[in-house]
Each structure stands twice: as C-alpha cells, then as structure tokens.
Amino acid sequence: MSTDHTPNILLVDDQPANLAVLEAILTGVGELVAVTSGEAALREVLARDFAVVLLDVRMPTMNGFELAELIRQHPRTQGLPIIFLTAGDADEFPLERAYALGAVDYMTKPFNPVVLRAKVSVFIDLYRKSAQLARVEEERHRAALRDIFHRAPAIMGVMRGPDHVIEMANQRYRELACGRALDGLPLREAMPELAGQEFIEVLDQVYARGQALEGHNVRVLLRGGEGCAALEEHFLDFVCMALREPDGNVDGVLLHGVDVTERTRANLLAVGQRSALELAVTDAPLGDVLDVLARTAEDYSGGAALASVQLMTPDGRRLRHAAAPSLPAAFQREVDAIRVGPVGAAAASAAWRAATVNSADIEHDALWEGHRDLARAYGLHASRAMPILAPSGDVLGTFALYFRDRRHATPQEQAAMALLANTASLVIGQRHEAAERQAAEQRSHAILDSMSEGFIALDREWRITYANGAAEDVTQRRNEDLVGAQFWDLFRTLRGTPQESALRDSVAGRAASRIETFDPGQERWFEINAFPMEEGGTALYFRDESDRRRAEAGIRRLAAVAEQSSDFIGIFTADAGGIWLNPAGRRMAGLGAQANIAAWRMIDFFPREDRPFIVGQVMAALTGDQAEWEGELRLAQPDGGEPLPVYFKGFAVTDGDGNNLGLATITRDITQQKRAEDELRRVAADLSEADLRKSEFLATLAHELRNPLAPIRTGLDLLRMAPGDTAAAKRVHGMMDRQLGHLIHLVDDLLDIARITRGKIELKKEAVPLPTIVGMAVETSAALVEAHGHRLEVDLPPDPLELEADVTRLVQVLSNLLNNAAKYTPHGGTIRLAAWRDDGQAVIAVSDNGVGIGPEAIGSVFEMFTQVRGSLDRAQGGLGIGLSLVRRLVELHGGRVSAFSGGQGQGSTFTVRLPLRPGSPHARPEENGAAGGAAATAPLRVLVVDDNEDAADSLAALLQLLGHTTRVAHDGPEGLFLAESFQPDLAFLDIGLPGMNGYDLAGAIRRMGTMQQVVLIALTGWGAHSDQQQSQEAGFDQHLTKPVSLEALEQALGAVARALP
C-alpha cells in the first residue's frame, strides 16, 4: 500500500453518462479510474491499489454483486471498501446480500453530491491513515527482520559482486569465522583458508549463472581453536541464492547454512555403535566388534587419532590388543609387553588407576618414562587412555587414542571416546544389575528391529511378547497381530509335525535347537533357530532359506563323491555361509560328525591373523569376476594348536545362467609335504656340511701325510748322494725316524677312530691310581711342551683317586689334551693340569692361556674332522680327529669330556670326568639309568622355545633329568613373556617361530634390563656358516644344529654353569 501519490478511486458503471456525473462530483478527492464493465474493473483492482470502489449494481454480462463476490475472493482485494450504486427503489435494495458481500454502503441515483463526496472522503482518509500505519509496521518489520537475521541460529551472509564482498554476516557466520573482521572484505581475503576447498567456487557459479546451489554435509576446514591458528573440521548444509537488482541482473549471493558438524559426528558415532552392536548380537568374534568401535573413533577424529582397544589378561598383569586398525603390529606387540602399573605409558597406567590418563606431550610426561623411545619410533606425541569398566567396577580393558601432534583430546573427542568405551563394556557383557538389564533389553529391541532376520520372543506359555520388523515380513502379519497372540494359533501348519515336537522339546529341555519348515501358503522354506532365554521364555530367529534350499538341491549332488575323499571338501552359500562339509574336512577342522556346519562361515576355518588376507584376497577372488582362487593357506585348529598347512582351491558354483549358487572348496593337508621339504633342506644342509668336512679332511690328510713324507724322501736322496758320509747318514736316519714316528702316530689315530666307530676297540682295564696316568701323560708330552717354551703346572690331590681304566688309552687322552694346549698356546705360555674328586668322580682339567675357542664353535669342538681355531690350526698341523678321539675314549670309560673358553684369545679349559673305581673310597654307587654317567652340572634355569611341541617337550624332559628347572613356550610372544617372568640362566631358541622369529625374540630378550647375562643358544635345523653368522649378529652366544647330541648339550650347560657368578 503506497501513499506517495493520490489515492485511487474506481468508478464502475456501464453508462458513460453516469460515469461523467461521478467524475464531476469527485474531482479533486482522489485519482479517478472509470471503467464500463465488471471485467475491466476486475483487471484494475488486480493491477493497482484503490481506496474505494463505487460499483453500479446493474450491468450487462457481470452485475455488481457478481463482481463484488469475485473481488472478495482474491486475497489482494478482500478488504477493499465497496459502495453500491443503484437506480432502483431504496426500499427494494437487497441490503442483506450487499452487506454479505462486504459492502460498506450504498447510494441511490440521483446522487447528493455533498453526501457522495463526504462518504468517499471518509474512505480516502481511512486509506491514508492505513497506509501510514502500514509504513510504520513495515519499518518495524524490517528492523525485526534485521534482528532475526543477526540472531538467527543458521549461518547467514550477504555477499556482493564477483569478489563476494561481505555486506552482511550474522552472529553464527562470525562465530564460524572465529570472530575475524568480515565487513567490506572479499571472502577470499577474509577467510583465505577456503582457497582450494571448492566452497568459493560454488559462490562463483551462483553469481555467474543466477541459479541457486545446495550443499549437504560439505566438509570444510576453517581457522579456529585457541588463538584461531589451527584448522578445524566443520560439516555444513547450505543453500546459496542469487540476489538481483530491479533490472534482474545478479549483484550478489545470499548464503544460508547450518553447521551440522556435531550432527555428522553424532551420526558417525551412532552408525559405528549400531554396527558394533549388530555384530555383537550375531556372535561375531569380539575382536571384529571392537575393531568397528576403534575405526569409529579414528573416523570421528578426522584421522587425527589412532585408536587401540586392549583387553585385560586373566591374571590382571598385562593388556593384550584386541583391535588397533591403524597401529603397526610391531607397536602393538611392544605395548602388549608393558606390565599394568602406575608408570606404564597410556593404557597400562589407565588400567592400573581405573581412571582416564591424558598425556598431551609424551616427550615430557612421566607416565611414559622408559617407553618414550617406543612412541618416538612410531611418531606418536600425545595420548589419552580410558579404562573399560564392568558395572562392578572391574577393569575389563582400555580404550586409547594416540595422536601424532602434541595436543589434548577435544571435549567432543572425549565424549565420543567415553561413549565407545561404554559400548565396548556393553559388548564384553557386563550386565549384573536390574537397571542395566532393562537398558540392555531396550537396546536389544533397537538392535533386533534393525536386523534382517525375523525375531520373535515367547513367554513360558508360548505367547508372543515381542516381534521385530523383519518378523512381520517373514510371517506376513502386522506387529499388532503377532504380539499377544498364541504362537500355535498363528502357525497352525506346524501342529502335529516333527518340527512342533522339536520346538517343544527345545523349550522343555531349555536347549537350543534348529528346525527347517516349509510354508505352503508362501511356498517358502524357513529356518527357525530356538534359544532359551534367562527369564524362562524362548527366542525364535526366522530366516528365509528358500534360495539356499534350491541351491543345496543342486550342490548336494556333488557331495556323494566328496564323502569318500581324504581332502577337506566344503560347500558354502554365495556369501560364504556353511552348507556341507565332508568327513575328512570335519576331521581336519576338529568338528564332530553331528556339528552344525550351518553355524560356521568359511572365514571361521582360518586363524584370526590370516583373516585379513582371506577377506581381501581369497574371498574377493571367489566372489568377484575371477570366481576362483588357489594357493597355500593355514587351517585353524579348534584346540588352539599350530595351524595346519593346507593347499586351498576354491571356486564359485553357478547355474546355466551364470548365477552364483554357492562356493565350493577343496583343501588338502600338506603337513607331511612341508615336513618332508624341511627334512630335505636339513638333510641337504647336513650333507653339504659333511661333504665340506670330508673335503677339508682329505685336504688336511694329504697335507699332513706330505709333511713327514717330504723329509723322508729328501733323506733318501741325501743317502744316495753321500753314501760314505757316516755323520750325515746318522742325522738323516734320526730325522727319518722322527718323521716316520709322526706318520705312524697319524695312522694310529685314524685306526683308533675307525676301531671305536665300528665298536672293535677293546679296553684293557685295570685298577690304577690317577697320578700314575697323569705322570705318564706329562712325560709323553713334555718334549712338545718344552719345545714351545711353556710352563706346565700339575696340581694333584693327596688322595690316590683310583680308576678302573685302560692306562694306555687314558694316557693317550691326557697327552692329546696337553699336546693341544701346547700347540695352541703362544710361545712362553702357561699350561695347567689339575685334578680333584667331585661326587664320586675324578675330574681332570687341562687349561691354557692360548688362542681360545669362539662361541660359535664351542658346541662342535669334539665332532669328527672339525677344526675350530681357524688358520692357526693349519699352521700347527693335525687332522681334526684328536678331540673326537678323546671324547670317544673317555665315553668308553663311562666318563664325559667338555670344553670351555671365554672366547678368542681367552684360553681354553678341557675337563674330563671319570668314575672312580667301584669299591674304592668315595666311589659312586653303581647306577642303571642312562643318565647315571652324565656329568654333574650346577642346577640351571633353562627356557626352551620351539614351535615343535614334541621337540620342545623332549628337550625339557632331558634337561629336567639332568637336574635343571625348565619352562617351555611354543611361540615368540609366549617365549618373551616367560623370559621376563622366569628369568632363565640359559635359553634354547628355535629360529622359525610363529608370531616372532628367534632372531627377533633374541633381540627383545637382550633389550630387557634384567636379561643381560642370560646365555642364548640358537637351536635350529639350519647350520650353514651364514646361518651361524646371522645368529651371532642377532645376539646368540652359541649356534647348535638339530639334532643336538647329549655331549653338545652338556658342553653348553657346563659352559653356562662356569660362567655364572
């Protein structure tokens, strides 16, 4: 309504003369608009505003009453004042009809000019005053709109021109901009961080095209937070509309939006929580459920955090990772090794305190004392850990977030973390109080309503107390028809059938059962699983099995052949659900003949650690275009034993149209093949080693034979050349006699070894005191000892120490040891021969301060043709059979010999233990056991780690028989745990261990502060030089090749016992 011009007055009469009269009377009162028909009048009132209408009643085509009725029907003219004009009798004028049509007055012709002007002037004045009031109201409305604009909860802004100069921005817009100056600035200058995020490009399109554009859940990074320096993630719903000038040209853009960040994150949490709970109610592995929660936490943080869920071990001493989707496996293992305690980094400290632990800066947080290197190695700088608590307050585990930046978790992240930790507690299953059970029931209903399977709950009287949405679809009945009804009244087709008996038996016996039934009305097969509920009712799960039954009909024909196969042959649904498994497959998987294969999925047959590969590679191939996959895998064992190596071949079963009916697998146990391959590798290594030793021995033998033969031949030449020189001949004869003696000694050693090996040697035992044997041996070796300038010290006990022995052979043993000490000790060294009595045995030790023996060779020093002292051996001569001869002669006397050396340049000690003559003082009682003659060694704490259970257990039993305390582990992580708790003196570690190989395990043990002195021995089937070198680099003290002889074992034990303080 405008008041900038004279108010309009509409005159309507079909007679021009009447119009002329009206115009004459009303001139000057207002702007007069005269029309001669109702149609023309209608067009005018719709085109402009009028203060009053003077309307003739009688007009052709459309009379005044009809026109008035049309005027009143239009919203624009509903309140327009109308004065009816009539030439008829005033008494006959239809007042009721006129006023019903909204007339304000009527006048009869001829008009009284004064009265007419007065009446019209009243409406003109009323129009003006109404216009003034409307203007005041419009200004008030505009002010209110501006206030609403600025205080609106939505984001609103007006930007002008192609540069989007900000003309108006409401409070929410300014809060989003972190309070920055905006007015009069181009958007690119006011909020430069929007560059490259495609938001400004949307405004450009709206301005250029003049068309509105919408955005939903659009992610933008805006400057915000403390000091408004960091970029924060926001999600926006918005619409951008073009603003136009009066001529229609676009001159700006109006932005209207809502910050839906919290809603988006809440939806993310809700989806993650719902997914986890849905997995939980389908009996999915706990690790899979917790993995969903961990991934939800990572997604909620926008990738800023790495999530970890650990569960408390039964002994309450450690936490073990159940889910950590983005943390490296090595990091998880090292964190799992941290004990629960007051200073245990993030998770272990939170579990100890049963309270949340924050570390905004790991580098300077005392809780990470001793573990900062671990965090630093994986680029982690902050953490937050929260205990997962049972309703009783017990700590079930921890939920932790690790950040790559130094920061505190935001309040939103803290709240989300608390929600996810509570969800984890719910999943783990702590519901003890009645209030919690009621809440759990409500959550269960929500979960059940989201399930695709039909679910019905029955009370003790078979009355339906609950039915989810899927049950309505399965039964084709509404929920109100199901709840409260008798089960048998609704499912009459089950009455009198074996299925009814099975269900009733299940309810009566409170046992789970599964039946399949055919609904003739729907022509569909259904699987019904019944489970007893705690309160005495029964839960029924319905699943449409029609497609599976049709598929099974075709697939089962393949089963007849598979029944007799020794391979694992299984048939599964298209989504890898179990259908059928042959007897051999059940045996391989550890399933009984009556086990329900339908309860298993294909992935359940594989170890948890292999399942990512199964899902990502095998299942993807089987269900994809490739439709097949084959290769070596491992089959899980239900008793937790070592997975079975198998060769797997799987393929999709399709019908004639190419539709996937299911999956079939043929899996063969290749355990024997793998063992054969390992044995072949071991035998090949042994043969290679034996061939190398043989070659070295033959080369050495040739060299040692040439040494005496060369001077003998030279002597013969001298005798021929100077036959008359008696003095020269005497010297040559002496030289030839010595070299011949040396040659005879070499041959005698070879013959002795051959006789012992064939069991042909005979000992001439007699009672003899030990000093007699020692004296003869010293006399035999004296010349060699003196030739090298050594000092020989002999320390004998006052007791005679009587032996029953072959004097010649024992003199041979001791002289060999003395000769070795003389040859391998630099000139002017010291050799000591000491004897004493110990536990019914005579102990003789020959020690020197010579070149010593390296740790990698100490275990094989007594083996045939083995020389362990490097190039120096060659310089001193010898066939490498002397110590082997010593060992065998000592063993023939019922004794043992061992070697010890501190390493290269540390000298050596060879110790011989011989039983005292039976019946002599201090002799042992005669024993019948195999271990009766074993050398006594101080009791040790020995750890054995080998994934071959038979090998590990047998070695432990032998060590226990020798008087030692043992612990056995079958994989790397278990071995690491036992090493820390058992604190062994000696550890035998296999190299090929699952979970953590022997090299990694040795390194981890060496890094323990309390395990610096432990002796580590590699125990493996690989014995090449490169293998021994790798063992030494990994921190092993010795390298023994399987199978290990008792002598090598006792040498290792004796070396450890002597090294102990």
Cα-Cα-Cα-Cα dihedral sign, residues 1024, 1025, 1026, 1027:
positive
What percent of the chain stands above pLDDT 70?
A: 85
What percent of the chain stands above pLDDT 90?
A: 22
> How far does Cα 484 stand from its chain's mean position?
46
> How far does Cα 154 stand from its chain's mean position?
41
CATH number for the region 264-430 comes to 3.30.450.40
Q: What is the mean predicted confidence (pLDDT) over 524-539?
A: 81
Please say if the pLDDT value at position 212 is more than 50. yes
What pLDDT is stored for residue 309 in this prediction? 94
448 and 455 Cβ atoms separated by less than 8 Å? yes
Which segments of 759-806 does DSSP mark as H helices, in order?
A: 770-787
What superfamily in CATH does domain 8-136 come from?
Answer: Response regulator (3.40.50.2300)
Would you state the torsion angle of the CA atoms of residues 270, 272, 274, 279, taken in this order, to the nearest 10 degrees?
180
Taking domain 461-544, whether its CATH number is 3.30.450.20 is answered by yes
Q: What is the mean predicted confidence (pLDDT) over 191-218?
A: 90
Please say if the pLDDT value at position 896 is more than 70. yes
What pLDDT is stored for residue 163 in this prediction? 93
How far is 887 from 859, CA to CA, in rounded Å?
13
Residue bearing the bigger pLDDT, 378 or 948: 378
Q: What is the mean predicted confidence (pLDDT) over 507-522?
A: 79
Q: Which CATH class is domain 941-1059?
A: alpha beta
What pLDDT is stored for residue 1008 in this prediction? 86
- Under CATH, what is the fold of the domain 560-669? Beta-Lactamase (3.30.450)
Please say if the pLDDT value at position 811 is more than 80. yes
What pLDDT is stored for residue 871 in this prediction? 35
What pLDDT is stored for residue 731 in this prediction? 77
Characterize 906-928 residue by residue with b for buried, 16 or more Cβ atoms within 10 angstroms of its Cβ, and e for exposed. Answer: ebbbbbbbbbbbeebeebeeeee
- Please work out, in degrees rounded to the nearest 5, the angle formed at the alpha carbon of residue 246 by the alpha carbons of 245 and 251: 5
Taking domain 762-915, whether its CATH number is 3.30.565.10 is answered by yes
Residue bearing the bigger pLDDT, 793 or 925: 793
Chain segment 603-659, per-residue pLDDT in tens: 889 998 999 999 999 988 888 888 899 999 999 887 777 888 999 999 888 876 777
Chain segment 754-800, per-residue pLDDT in tens: 666 555 567 788 999 999 999 988 988 888 899 899 999 999 998 88
Boundaries of every domain in the chain: 8-136, 152-259, 264-430, 461-544, 560-669, 677-749, 762-915, 941-1059
Please say if the pLDDT value at position 662 is more than 90. no
What pLDDT is stored for residue 930 in this prediction? 37
> CA–CA distance from 610 to each of 515, 630, 632, 996 (Å)?
33, 15, 12, 15
Per mean pLDDT, which range of 312-321, 547-556, 646-655 is the poorest? 547-556
Give the model's confidence band at 292: pLDDT under 50 very low, under 70 low, under 90 confident, else very high.
very high
What pLDDT is stored for residue 934 in this prediction? 40
Q: Which pTM value belongs to this model?
A: 0.33
What pLDDT is stored for residue 240 in this prediction? 92
- Under CATH, what is the fold of the domain 152-259? Beta-Lactamase (3.30.450)
Question: Would 461-544 and 677-749 be classified into the same CATH topology?
Answer: no
What secondary structure does DSSP assign to 204-235, as a single string?
HHHHHH---EEEEEEEEEEEESGGG-EEEEEE
Per mean pLDDT, which range of 457-466, 566-575, 637-646, 873-882 is the poorest? 873-882
Structure tokens at 792: 């020989």
Chain segment 35-75, per-residue pLDDT in tens: 999 889 888 988 888 989 999 888 888 888 888 888 888 88
Give the model's confidence band at 1053: pLDDT under 50 very low, under 70 low, under 90 confident, else very high.
confident
What pLDDT is stored for residue 927 in this prediction? 46
Residue written as tokens 């089937």? Answer: 1021
| Secondary structure tally for the chain: helices H, strands E | 35, 37
Please say if the pLDDT value at position 911 is more than 90. yes
What pLDDT is stored for residue 435 in this prediction? 38
Give the model's confidence band at 830: pLDDT under 50 very low, under 70 low, under 90 confident, else very high.
very high
What pLDDT is stored for residue 384 in this prediction? 95
Mean pLDDT of the residues in the chain: 82
Give the model's confidence band at 888: pLDDT under 50 very low, under 70 low, under 90 confident, else very high.
confident
How far is 1016 from 984, CA to CA, in rounded Å?
10
Structure tokens at 455: 């679910």
Please say if the pLDDT value at position 718 is more than 90. no
What pLDDT is stored for residue 910 in this prediction? 94
Per mean pLDDT, which range of 35-39, 444-448, 946-950 is the poorest? 444-448
Pick the CATH number of 677-749 from 1.10.287.130, 1.10.3720.10, 3.30.70.1230, 2.60.120.10: 1.10.287.130
What secondary structure does DSSP assign to 628-646, as a single string?
EEEEEEEE--TTS-PPEEE
What secondary structure does DSSP assign to 232-270, as a single string?
EEEEEEEEEEEEE-TTS-EEEEEEEEEE-HHHHHHHHHH
- Give phi and psi for 790, each to the nearest 5: -90, 160
